[in-house]
Amino acid sequence: MTGILTASDVGKSYGNGVARMAIIEGLNLSIAKGEFVSLVGPSGCGKTTLLMCLSGLLAPNVGMVGFKGQTVTAPPIGLSVVFQDYSRSLLPWKTNLDNVLFGMRRVTGMDAPQKKARALEILEAVGLTGFAGHYPWQVSGGMQQRVAIARGIASQSELLLLDEPLAAVDAQTRADMQDLLLDLAKRFDQTCVLVTHDVEEAVYMADRVLVLGPRPTRVVREIVVDLPKPRDQISTREAPAFLRARHEVMELIRSMRQGKALS
Amino acid sequence: MTIGLLAEKFRVPICIALVLGGWQIIFALGVVNEKYFPSILTIASAFWQMLTDGVVISAWATTFLRALIGLIGAALLGVALAILSDLSPVLSRGIRYVSDVLQPIPPAAFVPMAVFMLGLGTKLYAFVIILVTVWPPYLNGVAALAGVGQVQLNTGRMFGLTDWGLLWRVKLPAALPEIFTGIRYAATLSLIAVIVSEMLAGRDGIGFMIFKKAFAMRTPEVFGLMFLVAINGVLLNGLVNLLRRGLTGWHIRMMERPE
């Protein structure tokens, strides 16, 4: 398999013997450069564990994760995770600007003033002009998550792993953030893998939706979302292709929750 | 200006006036024998006399410096022990046992043993102060380091921090506010340990002077010296707060922000 991010036959379990609990088993996927892929699955299927394995923060028991052709053993340069819990992911003793600069620790080929200029530029791109000197706890939840996204992009990232990044923000902010993420992905050439439990969001954002099976999880279906970009919050969500994809994903997840056999 | 605003503005002098006034009323009522409960004026004049002869000033400085140096040493040692405990579960259990045994022993009980082992002098003070004062920074440090969130640690690792980098750049900054709670408590303990050691085994310092004056039944002087001890406490707390504001000002402002 080729692609910027690959997983071959990945398995992850906790415990041993009778207490062994398999979370992931025989999982394969490949993400092409520039793609926006959503991962959805029934609740508790191990989405977050999978994302930890893909990011190198957790080592799989079997199989291999590859990033840009290299086996992932620790979080590699060029890959960053945006966590759901932004308020715990941002460092509260650092200002928003310093949080973004913290993400640029491993960035090479820039001196300190250049890094600062770049950080301010990205903060401006996420709509936080004038909030660089604020602390994360002085701004709203949506703004905090934008700082975290800016920090991810600033780390010279090529691949963003988004772990339910919008689950904790309110509904209106959420729609704006979805469009912002799509815009940022294009503007900063980011390949994105979005883990979400929101099927509509998964379809709206993605070029491709990968549906995960129940635990121990693996990819059970791939659905290509045949919709033009840029997406539009009103017309995209009414397009027949959107509704078809949404129908397929929802039906699949419902059948899994009812414990039906999978093809 | 309303009465409330005036009270708010002059709260410090008002409190002092209330305490002094209350004292004078108890004195005037004659509930306690005058010999043991002198009037404010008697205490003030005895205190002034001690100040002018200079002995008390040097005793005051000596006691304050002992408490301060002891506190610094105990805080550094306590945090170092907490870091060791965080790095190794085996060490953590070992230090915990030692702390469980030593912590309940009051400062006064350490002094006779310290006199046999170390004689009278600096070593004795260092020994007693550290054994009494080291525990709050250590215990708070252990709890604070263990309480650093997994998301914060994952964030640090994602941006390439090694274990040492995580300790210095994520764990310690995150733990510092809680560590300072321990250090503030330790400041009080340090002062207690110094005064007790000076009383039981000292040749100088405020504690020694209090003991001497008390045996001579010089009650006004004893009260004056106690006032100096209180000032020492306020000064020591002030220094700790200054450092706390400097190092963890973000946390204080975060806690004080309006919702």
Q: Do B250 and A89 touch (CB under 8 A)?
A: no
Q: Do B154 and A83 touch (CB under 8 A)?
A: yes
Mean pLDDT to the nearest integer, A186-195? 95
Mutate to test the interface with B, among A88, A106, A115, A160 (most CBs of B within 10 A): A88
Domain B40-255, CATH among 1.10.3720.10, 3.40.640.10, 3.40.50.12280, 3.40.980.10: 1.10.3720.10
* Domain range summary for chain A, segments of one domain joined by +: 5-78+157-262
- The alpha carbon torsion through A168, A172, A177, A183 (nearest 10 deg) reads 160
**How far apart are alpha carbons A198 and A195 in whole angstroms?**
9
Q: How far is CA B232 from the centre of its chain?
A: 9
pLDDT at A142 over 50: yes
- The Cα of B84 is separated from the nearest Cα of chain A by a number of Å equal to 24
- The Cα of B87 is separated from the nearest Cα of chain A by a number of Å equal to 20
**How far apart are alpha carbons B100 and B104 in whole angstroms?**
7
Neighbouring-strand partners of residue B37: none
Q: What residues contact residue A235 under an 8 Å CB cut-off, 6+ apart? A: none
Tell me which residue of B185, B208, B212, B186 sits closest to B196, measured CA to CA. B208
Mean pLDDT to the nearest integer, A154-180? 91
Size of interface A-B (CB pairs under 8 A): 53
Tell me which residue of A149, A189, A207, A260 sits closest to A33, measured CA to CA. A189
Domain A5-78+157-262 has CATH 3.40.50.300: yes
Give the burial string for A29-58 (b: 16+ CB within 10 Å, else e): bebeeebbbbbbbbeebbbbbbbbbbbbbb
Mean pLDDT to the nearest integer, A101-116? 94
- Residues of B near A (Cβ–Cβ under 8 Å) read 149, 151-152, 154-155, 157-161, 170, 173-174, 248, 250-251, 253-254, 257
Contacts of A103 in chain B (CB under 8 A): 159
Q: Do A83 and B152 touch (CB under 8 A)?
A: no
Task: Please give chain B's pLDDT, 259 residues, in tens.
Answer: 678 888 888 888 888 889 888 888 888 888 888 788 888 888 888 888 888 888 888 899 999 999 999 999 999 999 999 999 999 889 999 999 999 998 888 888 888 888 888 888 888 888 899 999 999 999 999 999 999 999 999 999 999 999 999 999 999 999 999 999 999 999 999 999 999 999 988 888 999 999 998 888 888 888 889 988 999 999 999 999 999 999 999 999 999 877 6
DSSP string, B189-229: HHHHHHHHHHHHH-SSHHHHHHHHHHHTT-HHHHHHHHHHH
